[in-house]
A and B are shown apart, each in its own frame.
Chain A
Amino acid sequence: MTSTTTGPADRRDARKKPERPSPSDGAGDQFDRDDLPTPRGATRTLLMSLLRPHRGRVAVSALLLLIQQAAVQAGPLLVAYAIDSGVPAFRDKDYGPLIAVAVGYALCSAAAGGMQYAFIRASARINQDVLLDLRGRIFRHAQALSVDFHERYTSGRLISRSTTDVESLRELLSEGLQELIGIVLSFVSISLVLLWLDFGLGALAVLSFAPLYLLVRLYQQRAGVLYAARSTAIAAVIVKFAESMNGIRPVQAFRRERINDRHFEDLNNAHRWSNGGALLEMARYVVGSRLIANTAVAGIVLWGAYRVASGTLALGVLAAAVLYLRRLYDPIDRLGMFLNSYQSASASLEKIAGLLAQTPSVPETSNPRELPALTGEHPGREVVFDSVRFAYRTGGEVLPRFDLTVPAGQTVAVVGSTGAGKSTLAKLLARFYDPTDGRVLLDGTDLRDLAVPELRRGVVMVTQEAFLFSGTVAENIAIGSPDATREEIEQAAKAIGAHDFIAGLPEGYDTDVRKRGGRISAGQRQLVAFARALLANPAVLILDEATSSLDIPGERAVQRAMDTVLHGRTAVVIAHRLSTVEIADRVLVMEHGRIVEDGAPSELIGGTGRFAGLHRAWRESLA
């Protein structure tokens, strides 16, 4: 947008970040430092792609501003006309010129005001559309990124990207656009007038732009570093802030307040320091630019006055040149403000571009396939793990080569100790991750070939962490199926045994989970999560520790519901509580990513394997 040719991305390269120590944990480093790689030029491309759709409107706004400027600048001409022609004419009883001045001045005032009004509204519309676009892009992209990304890129950072970073672009757009157009208009027009008045003086004025340009470049470089640091610092503050507020119970119970105060103080001070540094850099720029401008004025006046004194320049020309000269350098402060917001916005945009450059490791297919129509009388589908291997990007192999076929309608319980790979199995089936090798097939179709809606009609997963979104209980259940009627929602809740507690809430299903009386216990949240899954009505249901916070009657109710409502569906149930096994047709025992036992529950219980041992221990624990 400015005359510079290097974008922020290039500056980053110039800073020469230290090479990552080892490729294996390199990604982790970037995440730790909140420094995702931004492809060269991506920031500029992003800004351009945001503004391009509004080219026409930007041009119209510029035109409005041009007319407004013309109307404003016409004032002095009218003053000159009034004095030169109005006064003598008035003395001759000719009121025409004075009336013309009065009408002209009124028109110019009205035009200046009207254009101002139109410009502000037009540019606000551009700004808001750009921001809407950018907010949406960040949000949609973040939502499209895979679970493993979110496990590493903290929520605080994402919030920071979509709030403070977007905010700095808002500042650039709301003030910057007007500033920039105004600055360019006045620089160009005044330079032309000066050159027209006297080529020598004009050329000298234009020459003074050279040191100004160098100053601007220097400022941009230095401020770029500072603003990037500031943006990182505020993100760290936000992460700490959000973490403490979300974990307020342990914070208070373990008297963390003071230690947190100190940690926060450190982060806050780091931000304060970079913030102050950025403001100081701005101060340096202002001093520098003023020095250049005022020196140039003194120099030009000296030369011009000298020429007038020696008779080679007309006095009137000098007077006009001097008046215009003052105006020429007036916008440099505004240029500073513009650079300020540009710098801060480009640091933010760079981070946003870095986020947007992340490719989902679980991408949605571009030419989706449909699942074959359900043929049988039951709604389940067959699940096949075909030579699946899974390793984390950081290298640790979780599942060595793995084959498994779950026939349609079968309920499989997966047991095994922590770290045996049960959850990975579930996440692969839910397509939270894609396998490193091999395929996961649903009725013969690779999960990677399914569009999201189709996939979620096929597979739904209920996890242990039962998060509730703001909104009513009914809305939370309806996440399973947004088009569901109230009746269907209540039916799902009844089937799972959640209806009673929901009905007991102050406003029943319409109780806002964050508001008065909306306190919902962990067990109740899990019931809501189940109702959600029932409502989604998938062909394959995965339950990952989904009953851990339920009491035994609650768990039994869920199991009964599963037995009846989900009858005929394919289900994969992961549970530490072997009670779940009671509803299973088949049990898999996993160890170190491998299936070590596979069979009907009764078969395994009767045997002498691990499951028999586990089951005995569990029975004893029931006492």
Chain B
Amino acid sequence: MPEEHAEPKDRSTVRSLLRLWPYVKPVRKRLFGAALIAIVASCIGLVIPLVLKWIVDGPVAGRDPGGVWLGALYLLLLGLAEAALFGVRRWMVARPLAGVEAAMRADLYRHLQRLPVAFHDRWPSGQLLSRGTTDLMLVRMFLAFPLTFLLVNGTTILIGFIILLMQQWTLGLVLLAPVVPMVILCSVFETKYSLVARKAQDQVGDLTTVVEESVLGIRIIKGFGRHRSQALAFRALSQRLRSTELGKARLLAGIWAAITTIPELAIGAALVLGTVQVADDGLSAGTLVAFLSTALALRWPIESIGFLLAMSQESATATERFFEVMDVAEEEDDTAAADGRAPKDAARQGEMVFEGVEFRYPDAEAGSVPVLSRIDLRIRPGETMALVGATGSGKTTLTALVPRLHEATAGRITLDGRDIAAMPRKELRELVSMAFEEPTLFSASVGENVLMGAEGAGEEDLRRALAVAQADFVYDLPEGIGTQVGEQGLSLSGGQRQRLALARAVVGRPRFLVLDDPLSALDVHTEALVEAALRQVLEETTAIVVAHRPSTVMLADRVALLSEGRITAVGTHQELLRDSAEYAWLMSGATSAQEGAFAEDAFPDPSDEDRLVPDVPAEKGRTR
């Protein structure tokens, strides 16, 4: 299951995190305000011991019970202030940080929806999802803790060292000595940790993908009784994640140990040196105690740097993963190009023309054979063109070019005489309506699912579209057209979904219609009814219909035969049956008399035999 993860760019933690600025900018005042308050609060924390010292040295030593009350009052006030500031800090950032996370997620979602279909073909949605959830939570936590506390603790350490140096500079230097090895250790740690953290996050993404697939493919897994092997595969992946996480813990344990031991050793050295100085009367015992208490007070800020750095590192990787997707360019509408303002030619109204269209996938190897090449096809206004070709000949790809789900790599496609490459996608997709081979319903009511095919369509359009698609079954659903379907609703059969998808395609009376094998899951009876109704719709639109079967081809005025990415023949059903062996084969499955014999075996009834032979013109010859 290993995915092809984009190469982690060689970017430092800080530079990765700086990319968060646009999202942090709106809340920067609150964030910095909160950090300031945190600094003030920790200063109050430093003042409290001084007050205690004052109480002990003053009123208590002087046996003055009244002074004790005053001291306790100061202590209480400082305590209340500290508590209030702590609260204010959290209160200031709570909603804004949740907001940053939400804004990033909304942006990611917005962006992903607008990325080309080719991108989604390559990226499993589990990987995208893990970026939108766990990674963003890491980012939020970074803004909440490491960012503030690196600043607060950094300031505390700085002030602490200034105090230390002022108290006794020789001892202060002893404590400063470990800074160099610490910095080196931390940077080594950062480099190693970032690699492992990235690996772990990617493995979480892979795990998400397996979970997702195991649910989407549950019928296959159950159907073949493979849930144990699936569980084994999952286990292997999660074992892999476990060992990566343990590797992370090893690094973390190492840096923690170093961060605990090295400063402690320095304090020990300062203690020994200080004691010698005290013994030599170079230093008062009181100063040594004060010096060491200050040093000990700095221990937590220094120790915390380990996990703050680790958290920052993980957030940097998360940020990296987030922007890896965000950096993929959205498709721009290039309206300025070519003949965006092509004159409206009345004669070309309703015409769909492919001129020298070529297509290869953006990630195809250079020099490979294009999926589609030299496609020249003119569909006349109001005409319905069937697209017939063997499995894998590129029919679906060709239909995806019309609404620009994929972009033709050469040549052009025009609607009404206008180059679609020069049209804004929104406008183009309003013009063209589509029914996909795999009918997807969204979590919404039946009515909403159908009406999403057209803006402004009303109740009447809905009923008409449902009638065309023979989707009367919806009125019998528990809540009629208000019944929730899709991922979160009632599950419908393939045929039912296909009919709703068809209704969606026709609801807005589109001028151009693209139907990708729209009737494959219907039974013969329903199919005949749909065809009859669809015929009326097709009268008034220009349409391409991908067809596998003669019955679907019958909807069309002409047929284009697609063979290995080229259009090899265009004509009526009868013409092609007569002239093209490949077409005859595709429409009947028979290549010769021997195939006819195959059919004959199965159907001994001789009166039916002739109908299987393709060369005999159909009795009804439905050409319109």
A201 to chain B, nearest CB (A): 14
Q: Is B608 an interface residue (CB 8 A)?
A: yes
| Complex contact A75–B222 (CB within 8 A) | no
B276 contacts A116, C-beta separation under 8 Å: no
- Give A110 to B257 CA distance when docked, in angstroms: 9
- Interface SS of B by simple majority: helix
Question: Do A279 and B94 have beta carbons less than 8 Å apart?
Answer: yes
A517 to B370 Cα, complex, angstroms: 11
| Residues A287 and B86 in contact, CB atoms below 8 Å apart | yes
Chain B residues 438 to 456 lying within 8 A of chain A, measured CB to CB, are: 438, 440, 442-443, 452-453, 455
Q: Is A461 part of the binding interface, using a Cβ–Cβ cutoff of 8 Å?
A: yes
A112 to chain B: which residues have CB within 8 Å?
260-261, 264
How many Å lie between the Cα of A271 and that of B140 in the bound state? 14
Stretch at the interface among B191-199, B242-250, B409-417: B242-250
CB–CB A515/B49 < 8 A:
no
Chain B 220-263 interface 0/1 with A at a Cβ cutoff of 8 Å (1 = within): 11111111111100110011001001101110111011101100
Distance, CA A350 to CA B528, complexed state (A): 51
Q: Quick check: B487 and A552 within 8 Å, CB to CB?
A: no
Nearest neighbor of B577 in chain A, beta-carbon distance: A623
Q: Are A143 and B452 in contact (CB under 8 A)?
A: no
CB distance from B296 to the nearest CB of A (A): 7
List the B side residues contacting A508 at CB < 8 Å: none
Q: How far is the CB of A170 from chain B (nearest CB, A)?
A: 9
On whether the beta carbons of A243 and B486 are closer than 8 Å, the reply is yes
B82 and A294 contact, CB distance less than 8 A: yes
A156 at the interface (CB under 8 A from B): yes
Which of the 9-residue segments B14-22, B57-65, B336-344, B533-541 touches chain A? Answer: B57-65
B211–chain A nearest beta-carbon distance, Å? 5
CB distance from A156 to the nearest CB of B (A): 7
| Inter-chain contact A237/B105, CB cutoff 8 Å | yes
The distance from the CB of B585 to the nearest CB of chain A, in whole angstroms, is 6
Is there contact, CB below 8 Å, between A548 and B520?
A: yes
Q: Are A618 and B524 in contact (CB under 8 A)?
A: yes
Task: Tell me whether B242 and A131 are in contact (CB under 8 A).
Answer: yes
B502 within 8 A of A: no
Q: How many residues of A contact B (CB 8 A)?
A: 190
Cβ of A453 under 8 Å from chain B: yes
Q: Are A143 and B221 in contact, with the CB atoms below 8 A?
A: yes
Closest chain B residue to A244, Cβ basis: B113
Q: Is the CB of A106 within 8 A of B288?
A: no
Residue of A nearest to B271 (CB): A82
Instruction: Decide yes or no whether A151 CB sits under 8 A from chain B.
Output: yes
Chain B residues contacting A455 (CB-CB under 8 Å) are: 225
Nearest to A140 among chain B residues (CB) is B231
CB contact list, A494-532 vs B, under 8 A: 501, 504, 506, 514-517, 519-524, 527, 529, 532
- The residue in chain A whose Cβ has the minimal distance to the Cβ of B41 is A290
Of all chain B residues, the one with the shortest Cβ separation from A162 is B211
B110 close to A261 (CB less than 8 A): yes
Interface stretch among B158-166, B316-324, B345-353, B489-497?
B489-497
Determine if A250 and B436 form an interchain contact, defined as CB atoms under 8 angstroms apart: yes
Residue-wise, chain B 400-430 has the 8 Å CB interface mask toward A (1 for contact) of: 1001010000000000000000000110011
Given A154-B487, A249-B405, A470-B124, A501 and B391 contact (CB-CB distance below 8 Å): yes
Contact of A322 with B by CB under 8 A: yes
User: From residue A70, how far is it (CB to closest CB) to chain B in Å?
Assistant: 14
With contacts A257-B114, A259-B452, A306-B65 taken as known, whether A151 is within 8 angstroms of B550 at the C-beta atoms is no
Partner of A135, one of B110, B209, B238, B264: B238
B185 within 8 A of partner (CB):
no
Which residue of A has the minimal Cβ distance to B574? A623
A614 x B524 contact (CB < 8 A): yes
A46 contacts the other chain (Cβ, under 8 Å)? no
CB B76 to nearest CB in A, in angstroms, measures: 4
With a cutoff of 8 Å between Cβ atoms, the chain A residues found around residue B83 in the complex are: 286-287, 290-291, 294
> Are B488 and A257 within 8 A (Cβ)?
no
Kindly provide the distance from the CB of B302 to the nearest chain A CB, expressed in whole angstroms. 13
Q: Is B47 an interface residue (CB 8 A)?
A: no
Q: Residues of B contacting A204 with CB < 8 Å?
A: none
Complex Cα distance A618/B551, Å? Answer: 9
Asked whether B8 is an interface residue with its Cβ less than 8 Å from the other chain, the reply is: no
Does A365 belong to the interface (CB within 8 Å)? Answer: no
List CB contacts (< 8 Å) of B133-179 with chain A. Answer: 133-134, 137, 144
* A221 close to B (CB within 8 Å): no
* Contacting pair A553 B390 (CB below 8 A): yes
Q: List, in ascending order, chain A residues with CB within 8 A of B211's CB.
A: 139, 142, 158-159, 162-163
Which of chain B's residues have a CB closer than 8 A to the CB of A578?
Answer: 524
Contacts of A608 in B (CB 8 A): none
Specify which of A90, A113, A119, A150 is in contact with B261 (CB 8 Å cutoff). A113
Once the chains bind, are A479 and B436 in contact (CB under 8 Å)? Answer: no
Chain A nearest Cβ from B446, distance in angstroms:
15
A242 in contact with B125 (CB, 8 Å): yes
Say yes or no for B215: interface residue by CB 8 A criterion: yes
Quick check: A602 and B603 within 8 Å, CB to CB? yes
**Complexed CA–CA distance, A355 and B396 (Å):** 39
Residues on A with C-beta less than 8 A from B275 are 82-83, 86-87, 90, 98, 101
Q: Does B611 contact A (CB under 8 A)?
A: yes
- What's the least CB distance linking B80 to chain A, in Å? 7
Mark contacts of A274-314 with chain B using CB atoms, 8 A cut-off: 1 yes-contact digit, 0 otherwise: 01100110111011001101110111011001101111000
B392 within 8 A of A: yes
Which residue of B is nearest A120, CB measured? B253
Contact call A305/B261, Cβ cutoff below 8 A: no
A397 within 8 A of partner (CB):
no
Known interface pairs A117-B254, A239-B487, A418-B473; A255-B426 also in contact (CB < 8 Å) = yes
Shortest distance in angstroms between A467's beta carbon and chain B's nearest beta carbon? 4
| Chain B hits for A119, CB < 8 A | 253
Binds B, one of A436-444, A485-493, A554-562: A554-562
Interface pairs (15), CB distance under 8 Å: A105-B268, A112-B264, A117-B254, A154-B488, A245-B112, A252-B113, A257-B110, A275-B98, A279-B144, A287-B83, A464-B521, A471-B1, A551-B390, A621-B528, A621-B554
Nearest 10 A/B pairs, CB to CB: A294-B79, A456-B225, A124-B249, A113-B261, A105-B268, A287-B87, A283-B90, A290-B83, A623-B618, A621-B551
